[in-house]
Amino acid sequence: MPGRARREADFQPELRKNLVTREWVIIAKGRGKRPSDFAPAGEREALPEHDDACPFCTGNESKTPPEVYAVRDGGRPNSPGWTVRVVPNKFAALRATGSEHLRTIGLHSARDGFGAHEVIIETPDHNKDLWEMDLAQIEGVIQAYWQRYLAYESREALQYVLLFRNQGLQAGTSLAHPHSQLIAAPVMPHQLQVELQGGAAYWEYLGRCVYCALMEDEMKSGERVVLETEHFLVVTAFAGRYPFETWILPKRHAIRFAAMTEAEATDLARVLKDVLSKLAGCLQRPSYNFAIHSAPTAEHNVRAYHWHLEIFPRITTLGGFELGSDIYINVVAPEDAAAYLREAEAPAA
């Protein structure tokens, strides 16, 4: 292990370019941060298994809007007996009502917040992170993602469906009970647009999918590989914006998340459990976000895309440079992060 003097002598920040989006990031690896240098999120310790005041806990089904999907062993809809439950978000960012039309306000454009915003309640247990659930439970969550994704992806007026998860205060969680969210929007997110354009440009120049090329390259070098299964490759991002930014990539080229096979869905549950366990062990249960990126629903001609899941541990805060320039400073070299994660195990109970 290099000493402090050596680490300072090695200090050489590096600008790295994201192969897909062509965004630059600064890898300030000379700062030599170790996982233990980051403060643990630590807010979960005191949580009870059941909280009477929590709208997502069993017995409080009437405190949410009526369910739109559930996995249940028995009982009527909106009563106890479920293992996974999906409900519209009571404080929705987008709603099913409203006009689909664009309007102008002076020089500006606006439209009604039309779309959908759902909450996937992942378990009746109030105090578990996703990786702490047993495999069958996580498989149930993936099935819920899949079914709800399918429910929206063919709707003409909606351009994009995003599945995402916030864990912990630094990641923007407002309710502790384990849940993911789905937002179906009538507009295309900027990040996706940039990825789609990057994928299309790569295909045009080199005649192949940029993500397939990336996976081949990562498997060859192995430096950033966290783990590999039959259907997935997990790597830390070469130009990751966040320390320990980790991507889960399906090995089979498919543009849409919903084009998964049953075998891939089962494997994804396993992979997600393993990767999130490793992050929890390595970074002392950090706050994190993840999002599933999939080809847009409205475009039928996309071939130069490849769905994937991006995980962003939230162990540093964004500053003026990031917000003002859109160039992120990542203080952990992705190669070091991958090495730490390969060795990491779930935290001791």
Q: Are 239 and 23 in contact (CB under 8 A)?
A: yes
Active-site residue flag, 108 = no
Q: Are 136 and 163 in contact (CB under 8 A)?
A: no
Q: How far is CA 37 from the centre of its chain?
A: 24
Please give the helix or strand (H or E) that residue 336 lies within, else none: helix 334-343
The 203-242 site mask, x for binding Zn ion (CB under 5 A), equals: ------x-xx------------------------------
> For residue 189, which of 315, 99, 296, 329 has the smallest C-alpha distance?
296
Q: Which of 23, 31, 44, 54 binds Zn ion (CB under 5 A)?
A: 54
Q: Does 162 bind Zn ion (CB under 5 A)?
A: no
Q: Does 56 bind Zn ion (CB under 5 A)?
A: yes
Q: Does 179 bind Zn ion (CB under 5 A)?
A: no
Region from 67-75, 221-229, 267-275, 292-300 binding Zn ion, contact rule CB under 5 A: 292-300
Q: Does 201 bind Zn ion (CB under 5 A)?
A: no
Please give the helix or strand (H or E) that residue 180 lies within, else none: strand 179-185
Identity of the residue, 177 or 273, whose beta carbon is nearer to Zn ion in the bound complex: 177
Q: Does 304 bind Zn ion (CB under 5 A)?
A: no
The 307-336 site mask, x for binding Zn ion (CB under 5 A), equals: ------------------------------
Q: Does 306 bind Zn ion (CB under 5 A)?
A: yes
**Choice among 177, 179, 231, 308 that is catalytic:** 179
At 308 the three-state DSSP class reads: strand
- Spell out the residues 6+ positions from residue 159 whose beta carbon is closer than 8 angstroms to its own: 185, 186, 187, 188, 296, 297, 298
What is the per-residue DSSP string for 240-253?
Answer: -SSTT-EEEEESS-
Q: Of residues 111-130, which lie at the interface with Zn ion (CB under 5 A)? A: 126
Q: Which of 33, 165, 177, 278 binds Zn ion (CB under 5 A)?
A: 177
Q: Is 266 left (phi over 0), alpha (psi -120 to 50) or beta?
A: alpha
Region from 2-10, 57-65, 145-153, 318-326 binding Zn ion, contact rule CB under 5 A: 57-65
Using CB under 5 A, list all residues that contact Zn ion.
51, 54, 56-57, 126, 177, 209, 211-212, 253, 293, 306
